[in-house]
Amino acid sequence: MGKILVTGGAGYIGSHTVVELITAGYTPIILDDFRNSKPFIIGQLKEITGQDVEVCQVDCNNKSAVESVFKAHPDILGVIHFAAYKAVGESVEQPLMYYKNNVNSLLVILEVMEQFKTKHLVFSSSCTVYGEPGKPVVTESTPIQSATSPYGDTKIVCEKVIDFTIQNSKSNAALLRYFNPIGAHDSAKIGELPQGVPNNLLPYLTQTVNGIRDHLTIFGDDYNTADGTCIRDYIHVVDLAKAHVKAIDWLKLQDEGIVEPFNLGTGHGSSVLDIIHTFEEVNQVKVNYKIGQKRAGDVEQIYADPTKANTELKWQPQYSLGDALKHAWKWEKSLAEYV
């Protein structure tokens, strides 16, 4: 099926995508410098797939090092570009670090792809590009809003860079706008591995139940939603990973110069309290949570209209919310073996 370079391939979504690429018959090559991931994940990938995965320990900002990977693999079919910083709060504190890493790494990848005539790019984007939408359900034609954080702005900038670059090239690209990835591989061998205090709801919740955190704080319970808490579209990370494989398959059938965005979500919104109560139900545990003040910049509710991905990519999520929450807890309990 061909070689696919996966930048950030040892990370949360990247590692699950490597598994799905192998399952689909592709040969992934991981490019990762492990600044936001752990080397033990590579061994876990071999245990899941039964195959060795080539790993290039390279910083995506180092053009000569990236070129050396392409020189060693001149037959790379496409690139899935995950490698980026992703913490909203940190981006507010260190904006220059985010612009330098997230935007510059993309520029390097695009330059080297052009140099080696690599045709296909799948870009890891985010629903943050929609900001606070006028309606909670968003399509790909929903207007892009001004970003409320440097992290969100880097995604908008990168999408624009790809659009202008690819339209005048012999390549094509899919911009995958994720909603809220949760869960883990059902083997409990790979999953979300936050560095330090988690920024996302699910790892903070599982760490709270596991006794690592004292309690989970819900930021506001007086939003204009059914139970007063924020609503998001939570998607199982394995379903998300499979969409990247579908995107590569789709790009292989497209003309050069094509750039298309796709929303990757379930099409259903769940509130923070929905997540907590479902987690308690499927795992037979209690979550110690408290209500806190609203956070500035939190979107009240947003979820995907995934029709375009369903029809054009021939992709449908398979896992339920309960599945994702069971797999997240299973992964959390297994982590003591690895870290």
**Which residues are part of the catalytic machinery?**
151
Residue 195 falls inside a structural domain? no
> pLDDT of 230-266, one tens digit each?
999 999 999 999 999 999 999 999 999 999 999 999 9
Residue 21 falls inside a structural domain? yes
Residue 72 falls inside a structural domain? yes
Give the contacts of 98 (CB within 8 A, at least 6 positions apart).
85, 90, 91, 150, 151, 154
> pLDDT of 270-301, one tens digit each?
999 999 999 999 999 999 999 999 987 788 99
Residue 155 falls inside a structural domain? yes
Residue 15 falls inside a structural domain? yes
Phi and psi, residue 75, nearest 5°: -100, 20
d(CA 287, CA 207): 10
Q: Is 161 helix (H, G, I), strand (E, B) or coil?
A: helix
Give the contacts of 87 (CB within 8 A, at least 6 positions apart).
151, 199
Other Cβ atoms within 10 Å of 168 Cβ, number: 9
Domain holding 249, by residue range, is 3-183+234-265
Mean pLDDT of the chain, nearest integer: 95
> pLDDT of 48-64, one tens digit each?
999 999 999 999 999 99
Tens of pLDDT along the chain (339 residues) come to: 899 999 999 999 999 999 999 999 999 999 999 999 999 999 999 999 999 999 999 999 999 999 999 999 999 999 999 999 988 888 999 999 999 999 999 999 999 999 999 999 999 999 999 988 889 999 999 999 988 889 999 999 999 999 999 998 999 999 999 999 999 999 999 999 988 889 899 999 999 999 999 999 999 999 999 999 999 999 999 999 999 999 999 999 999 999 999 999 999 999 999 999 999 999 999 999 999 999 877 889 999 999 999 999 999 999 999 999 999 999 999 987 776
Residue 332 falls inside a structural domain? no
Q: Is 128 helix (H, G, I), strand (E, B) or coil?
A: helix
Other Cβ atoms within 10 Å of 274 Cβ, number: 19
pTM above 0.75, yes or no: yes
- The CATH number that applies at residue 74 is 3.40.50.720
Residue 108 falls inside a structural domain? yes
Q: Are 265 and 334 in contact (CB under 8 A)?
A: no
Domain count, the chain: 1
